[in-house]
Structure 1
Amino acid sequence: MLLPLSLVLLLCGHSCSVVSHPKPSCRYPPSQWCRSLEIAIQCKVLKQCMELRAVAPPPNAAPVSVSVFYQSLCPAWRHFLSQQLFPTWTMLRDILSVHLVPYSASKDVPSESFVPCQRQEPECSVNMIEACVVELTGASGLEIISCMESSADVVSAARACLHLYAPALSWASVQSCVNGSRGPLLVNRSGAAARALSPAPSHLPWVTFNGVYTDEQQDRAMSSLFTLVCQLYQGIKPPVCTGVPVHLDRGYC
């Protein structure tokens, strides 16, 4: 189970001061220190991660599945990502599963028509980069894309964001995906998935919850996604949803 940094620091208290001071050999950001055994060992926080997993409650229901269909350079998407999606995922990642679907759409043709993504189109090019990032990095994809989209130049920031959140993956791997046949395939496959939605997207970003779209949930997602995810989760609400403070025994010298 991956825990947000805020919860890591809250649970650790003073006894885990080492967590806030990573050793130089650690190449990963704090949000990923407990993601795998290899990373925990490299960042020298294995003991702390084991303690966190011991006190963290096990998942008692399936996470809320949120799929976001978007175009990379759309201002509304970038605002939603920075103001709603990424902060909510940071706080609720244990009960929230996010699926990003970047694709290129044309307003000049019927929705059922096939419109191939062309690399020379700026937005299509960025969509390909982000589709490849999602494909190659999995769980780190949202962090990387949030990093990219918060930059003035999305493309120029891509390499640095990849190095920050997925240091084990080379930029050459992403370039190979984008410049080869895989990039266009991923974007066009996403476009086909968008055209298959019912109802069909009439604006972007288009947000579905557990595979279902409603106007009410779309409107709430754009203004209060955190509250909506907490309400949709069918298991025992985590403390961050209920506002219940977490008290742990701490030792002091």
Structure 2
Amino acid sequence: AKMKALLLLVLAVGFNVQYGGSSMYSSCSESPLNWCSSLDSAVECGVLKSCLQSNFSKSRQTEDLIEVGLYYESLCPGCRQFLVLMLFPTAILLQDIMAVKLVPFGNAQESGTTGKYVFTCQHGEQECLGNMIETCIMNMSQIAYPIIFCMESSSDVVNSAKACTGIYDPDLSWDKVMGCVNGPLGNQLMHQNALETAALKPPHEYVPWITINGEHSDDLQQKAMTSLFSLVCSMYKGTKPAACGGSQMHYQNYCQNK
């Protein structure tokens, strides 16, 4: 349900940005997060077919979701490329069979004692700040992934954070985010990221470091980096969604050249 909400929100914002806020569903009074919450809102917002298809797909699930874990750094070029170009698009297309786990820490180092941990990052202080902002956002927002996608796809990861948060989760106070970043909550959350990264088996050697259902191997890493979409589709044991070729969907509407 959360991934469905993310998809609807991203599509809604993307549509409004591309077309100057002129939407074919201008009569829709609901937040994109609530489009599929009831039959009336789905009809009003013009997404009834999509909502019904999503619910039908979920009702047929008999297997656990495929969990894709990404251990990364906010300013690592390879991490950003994988997150933006591979992980997030795949998560949208395969929302019914896939879960995402993000752990921003990577090759950072931790020192200090309880409550006063100090972090040193591979790409400097700005990367530590980016890691911390994304960690706090994941702790404070139900729609953190679009915010992180927005940040990582921008030209300036850290300085885009406030604007990205305002776009996707306007109810989340930026002051509260920074309170987490600069306070004991953020420090403890990042410590947990450090512990989780250190506990990886086998130990991580680089980032992005990808796990599938908690497991990592050279073969899984290579397949995920080459085509995460194909990997998730092939590993899911239940009824394949249409995106995987589970059922053929044909779109017969054309704009004729007159």
TM-score with structure 2 setting the length: 0.76
CA distance in 1, matches of 2:175, 2:43: 25
Q: Is the 8 A contact 2:35 2:42 kept in 1?
A: no
CA distance in 1, matches of 2:44, 2:109: 51
- Aligned partner of 2:79 in structure 1 is 77
Helix, strand or coil at the partner of 1:83? helix
Equivalent of residue 201 in structure 2, options 173, 193, 198? 198
Helix, strand or coil at the partner of 1:156? coil
Structure 1 counterpart of 2:150, which letter?
C
- Aligned partner of 2:164 in structure 1 is 161
Q: Does 1:242 align with 2:233?
A: no
- Aligned partner of 1:126 in structure 2 is 130
Q: Is the 8 A contact 1:116 1:188 kept in 2?
A: no
Deviation at 1:84, TM superposition (A): 0.7
CA distance in 2, matches of 1:166, 1:193: 27
Structure 1 pair 74/210, CA: closer, same or farther in 2 (3 Å)? same
Deviation at 1:24, TM superposition (A): 7.6
Deviation at 1:247, TM superposition (A): 6.1
- Aligned partner of 1:98 in structure 2 is 100
Q: Does 1:207 align with 2:214?
A: no
- Aligned partner of 2:45 in structure 1 is 45
Deviation at 1:107, TM superposition (A): 7.3
Structure 1 pair 92/194, CA: closer, same or farther in 2 (3 Å)? same
- Count of aligned residue pairs for this structure pair: 230
Helix, strand or coil at the partner of 1:154? coil
CA distance in 1, matches of 2:200, 2:102: 15
Q: Is the 8 A contact 1:118 1:125 kept in 2?
A: no
CA distance in 2, matches of 1:126, 1:222: 23
Name the Cα RMSD after superposition: 3.6
Equivalent of residue 139 in structure 2, options 122, 130, 135? 135
Deviation at 1:92, TM superposition (A): 0.5
Helix, strand or coil at the partner of 1:208? strand
Q: Is the 8 A contact 2:67 2:99 kept in 1?
A: yes
CA distance in 2, matches of 1:50, 1:236: 18
Equivalent of residue 62 in structure 1, options 61, 64, 77? 64
CA distance in 1, matches of 2:36, 2:173: 19
- Aligned partner of 2:192 in structure 1 is 189
CA distance in 2, matches of 1:47, 1:82: 26
- Aligned partner of 1:16 in structure 2 is none
Structure 1 pair 158/214, CA: closer, same or farther in 2 (3 Å)? same
Helix, strand or coil at the partner of 1:193? helix
Structure 2 counterpart of 1:21, which letter?
Y
Helix, strand or coil at the partner of 1:101? strand
- Aligned partner of 2:219 in structure 1 is 216
Larger deviation: 150-159 or 199-208?
A: 150-159
Q: Is the 8 A contact 1:104 1:117 kept in 2?
A: no
Unaligned runs of 5+ in 2: 13-22, 112-116, 254-258
